[in-house]
Amino acid sequence: MAGTDEEAVAAADDALYVLTAVLLTPAKFPSVLGDDYPEACAALGLAPLADGYGLVLGQDGDGARWTVVIDDVSLVAVAIASWDCGMEYDLSPDERTVVAALPGWPLAVAVAAPNVPDPHDPDPDVADGPPLAPPDTSVWGPAQRRLGADEIALQWAIWREQIDDTDFATPGGGATDSTEATDADAGAGAGERESEGTEKGDRGEPQSGHGGIRRVLAEARAYVDSPPPLGRVRSSFAPGDARTLRADGPGWSLVARTDDIAFVLLDDEPGEVLPVGRGPELPGLLEALDKMAVRPS
């Protein structure tokens, strides 16, 4: 676990200009940091506490980047909710809630504090360890794949309207037939959409996609019998009675609506977004995953 070096904490707290904040909890964490909550915590040198943390990203008076980790999760949650509603909120953590002050930012931040030097890493003499930096998303890999899944979850309607249900296998087809129709007819086309998380993908060999989808569904199904690390399966709000389901695993991410289809992204399929039709098996799988998923409190 990261130490609470007094000098580092004081340097970050003396005049921290808060730019943004994020939650680091089992149900809500920056997925770019890992496939699950313990992995995301490990990326920051933190122990995976059950209640989680709040991450406050800002600059000190010299413009240096700092990430202040606090254990007052509710405070950060209220701040984020206020900002999302367009309201002002002065996020000023009590020093007693500070767990660690980490140099650098683990996430990309597009804004900077006014009237201070441009964002830069703290002086090594002050920083306790190497500075944090966002994962490299310039090339396709786990971080880019998870960012793509985040984008699909946020923009579900836009992605869903690109899929013609007639591209899926006809009712009564087996699970393999469904995934084959999904990948060959709809998956490659959907993969050509560009977003922050996915680059324009080429139409790959269909058989490769078939095996990838079958593997993802099999590994997701195994989660029901053998629960994965905390946060690998998460359930969040969706319109109506549905839920948005997110599952991640080694080399893959799945995003689904419990009343609809699913999308799969694979490390082995750069830029591709592969739709999975409901078919005879997907509804039951999504229901089982939703029952075991971590939900925001």
pLDDT band at 9 (very low <50, low <70, confident <90, very high): very low
Alpha-carbon span 36 to 26, nearest angstrom: 8
Question: Does residue 190 carry a pLDDT above 60?
Answer: no
Residue 63 confidence (pLDDT): 96
Question: What length does the chain have?
Answer: 297
pTM: predicted TM-score of the whole model, two decimal places: 0.81
Two tokens, residue 134: 């966002």
Tell me the pLDDT band of 15, cut-offs 50, 70 and 90: confident
Tens digit of each residue's pLDDT (9 = 90 or more) over 193-206: 444 444 444 333 33
Distance, CA of 86 to CA of 36 (rounded, Å): 30
pLDDT band at 156 (very low <50, low <70, confident <90, very high): very high
- Reported as a pLDDT band with limits 50, 70 and 90, residue 210 is low
pLDDT value at 58 more than 80: yes
Distance CA 194, CA 198 (A): 6
User: pLDDT tens digit string along 117-129?
Assistant: 999 999 988 877 8
Query: pLDDT averaged over the chain?
Result: 84
Longest Cα–Cα distance of the chain, Å, equals 66
Does residue 63 or residue 169 have the better pLDDT? 63
Buried b (16+ CB within 10 A) or exposed e, 191-228: bbbebebbbebeebeeeebbebbebbbebbeebbeeeb
- 78 in Cβ contact with 67 (< 8 Å): no
Sheet holding 65-70, edge to edge: 17-24, 53-59, 65-70, 98-103
Q: What is the pLDDT of residue 291?
A: 97
% of the chain beyond a pLDDT of 90: 71
Residue 6, pLDDT > 70, answer no
Q: pLDDT tens digits for 66-82?
A: 999 999 999 999 999 99
> pLDDT of 231-252, one tens digit each?
999 999 999 899 999 999 999 9
In this prediction, residue 11 carries a pLDDT of 45
**In which element (H, E) is residue 158 found?**
helix 156-160
Q: In the structure, what pLDDT confidence band is assigned to residue 173 with cuts at 50, 70 and 90?
A: very low
User: What six digits make up the tokens of 168?
Assistant: 């899926």
What is the token pair recorded at 284? 């039951």
166: confidence class by pLDDT, cuts 50, 70, 90 = confident
What residues have CB less than 8 Å from 66, skipping those under 6 apart? 11, 12, 16, 57, 58, 59, 60, 101, 102, 103, 104, 122
